[in-house]
């Protein structure tokens, strides 16, 4: 089930989470789905990787030290408005919606989540990449 852009290359996804175990699980799932994956342990590291490379999607945790996921999402959209961002979080919905109201996040997935829901959110977000950008595209209930 190789996912490509029709240009002979796999889609590239940047996964950002300060929890190494979660980062590994998400990366392994995405690789199993056929994506190329780059990893970062915090927002500052992720931004450095992002500006040096091209990504089709960013999947980031919300709560991280130094730079949280909403700040990272804003900076990603400033540099590449068409790159979708999926936010993973264990925070309560009210806190999350306040942080992502800028429109820099395309989808929010609340932890805990089912892997099939994560998979369908990733595929749906990438499929609509050429369509509407910069709005909250969905919510997965944990």
Alpha-carbon gap, residue 10 to 139, rounded angstroms: 26
Q: What is the pLDDT of residue 9?
A: 64
Q: What letter would DSSP give residue 128?
A: T
Q: How much is the pTM?
A: 0.85
In this prediction, residue 43 carries a pLDDT of 96
Non-local CB neighbours of 43 within 8 Å, separated by 6+ positions: 16, 60, 64, 66, 67, 68, 69, 71, 72
What is the structure's pLDDT at 96?
85
Mean pLDDT per 10-residue segment, the chain (142 residues): 49 97 96 97 97 96 93 96 95 84 88 93 87 42 42
All structural domains of the chain, each given as residue ranges with its CATH number in brackets, are 12-125 (3.40.50.2300)
Q: If we measure between CA atoms, which residue out of 71, 59, 80, 81 comes closest to residue 14?
A: 59
Containing 28, the helix (H) or strand (E) segment is helix 20-32
Both tokens assigned to 74: 């804003």
């Amino acid at each position: 089930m190789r996912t490509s852009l029709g240009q002979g290359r796999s889609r590239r996804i940047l996964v950002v989470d300060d929890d190494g175990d979660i980062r590994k699980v998400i990366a392994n799932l995405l690789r199993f789905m056929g994506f190329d994956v780059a990893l970062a342990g915090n927002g500052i590291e992720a931004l450095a990787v992002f500006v040096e490379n091209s990504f089709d999607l960013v999947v980031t945790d919300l709560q991280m030290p130094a730079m949280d996921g909403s700040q990272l999402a804003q900076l990603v959209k400033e540099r590449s408005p068409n790159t979708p961002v999926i936010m993973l979080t264990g925070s309560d919905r009210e806190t999350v919606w306040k942080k992502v109201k800028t429109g820099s996040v395309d989808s929010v997935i609340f932890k805990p989540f089912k892997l099939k829901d994560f998979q369908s959110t990733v595929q749906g977000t990438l499929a609509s990449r050429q369509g509407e950008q910069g709005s909250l595209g969905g919510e997965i209930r944990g």
